[in-house]
Structure 1
Amino acid sequence: MKNHTSPISFILLGLTDDPQLQILIFIFLLITYMLSVTGNLSIIILTLVDSHLKTAMYFFLQNFSFLEISFTSACIPRFLYSLSIGDRTITYDACVCQLFFTDVFAVTEFFLLATMSFDRYVAICKPLHYMTIMSYRVCKRLVFCCWMTSLLIILPPLSLGLDLGFCASNAIDHFLCDANPMLKISCSDTWLIEQMVIVCAVMTFLMTLLCVVLSYMYIIRTILRLPSAQQRTRAFSTCSSHMIVVSITYGSCIFVYIKPSAKDEMAINKGVSILSTSISPMLNPFIYTLRNKQVKRAFNNLVKRFILLPKN
């Protein structure tokens, strides 16, 4: 940032100026954040301590839960702090850090969801070779590739954005530091960065969606060929949780790009951001646990273990 044109801090305008609505938003986000952290942390603990949850599917679920905690923690606590004390200012360094971490966690989630769909494809279409193909070493490499790919996608536009100047306004029309509202208040030429952001977003979306769609095309074809209805139902149930999470994630992303008008653009972006940063991370643990007998059994065993601990 250029010292003579850039503010030392930004003002996050948030969601509303109505004090009563701010109280309701604070309570809602606090509850969803606590449920999100508790639910995803429970999944991480269960996959670490239960011997029955040591397969590739639960390894990916463990990493996905870690991403969910990280993603929601990168933006919601800062907004809750702002609502509680009424201070909407955020320093330039803190804003850049929030932008970097939210984008990295979000992009990594997309690639991890694509990886999880590939895991379901191997489990259903190649069950006899599942343990060989999805070994622990392969799973670790796939997760590592998800992180590295997201960094390679995020760093080029972010590095160019560090040279932006802000001459007039320092008010960001959002509750977090997001690329689009920051580019709108910059007095620098942002054409190249905007094109890079669009290319990176579309590339991430299409690459991961293609992997998900192809995986489920083969999965559905394999399931429909199964001889009995019981086998088909069992096979569908192993994919249902992942399909619901994928639908929520990609559905919310599509709404960002299908806008009714330019006037409603920021309102829709804020609504989608609330969905992706607070509601989705809260719902995902319940989706995976309520529809998964192994996870519910592991949770019950863990609770019984704590209840039956010898008391001094």
Structure 2
Amino acid sequence: MASASLISRLPQVRGSYKENAPLAPLTWFRVGGAADVLYMPADADDLAVFLAGCPADVPLTVVGVGSNLLVRDGGIEGVVIRLGSGFTFIEREGDTRLRAGCAVPDIALAKAALDAGLTGLEFYRGIPGALGGALRMNAGAYGRETKDVLVEAEAVTRAGEKVTLSNADFGYSYRHSDVSPDLIFTSALFEVAKGDKAEIAARMDEITSSREGSQPIRSRTGGSTFKNPGGTNPDGPKAWKLIDAAGGRGLKRGGAQVSEQHCNFLINTGDATAADLEGLGEDVRARVKEASGIELEWEIKRIGRTAADAEGQAA
């Protein structure tokens, strides 16, 4: 689908459209092709107008800060929606609730809670993403998950209708929700508790130190690559242990490498393609399957066209 002809079919908005927009700079891996069109809505009302007026046959993809995302080398067909400054607010509601826009980084929400003397969101200090993704995948770390603190979330449907979902509506399980992929989250309300700022800060510092000591956070990576087969069970099998036991630590394919520091992380060493990273992930899955009989499930979201797919569409 040519971006020029696509632009002419889209509704007028207050936000911005950009044709053939590179997506690699928007992802932590720094790989991947371009979006046919990148749309950045001004706010939730603008997003609703866009969705109501967007032709039903136009593919839509939502991306956040790109931390848990692998965009394939052929880019993404249709419109990629990325929430911006109109979705970065954080507001206090009553004594123990915070409402935040879904473009707010998880770490920023944890810091806001600390500043307000509220406890319960410290675990977000250890999650490299934004709230929209945290809602979608029930993001969690250090013993807590999004389902433990979420009250409700606001979203917009593919038809442009604004809806509110309760925690129960999400059907949460380990790193998963049952909500429709067509919903685009715009804000969320969290229930926390009053706490001691010094204790909250100490817990966040502990999480920061743990991450820096065990994860390659200064590399071009996408966070945890595979879900733990044992879920949140502390005694269940861990993905990194299975990968290590299968000889995956340090494994390479092209410019992609399994981290020597934490082998549930893939790294772009400098010149990796998305195909290198995805192929290396599949190599790891095959090794673990052969060694343990366990089939690892991707946690990183992989989207878009392969380079071959894109060439075929252009031919």
Instruction: Calculate the TM-score normalised by the size of structure 2.
Output: 0.26
Higher helix share: 1
| TM-score after normalising by structure 1 | 0.26
- Indicate the structure whose relative CO is greater, using CA pairs within 8 Å and at least 6 residues apart: 1
Report which of the two structures shows the higher radius of gyration computed on alpha carbons. Answer: 1
> Whose strand fraction is larger, Structure 1's or Structure 2's?
2
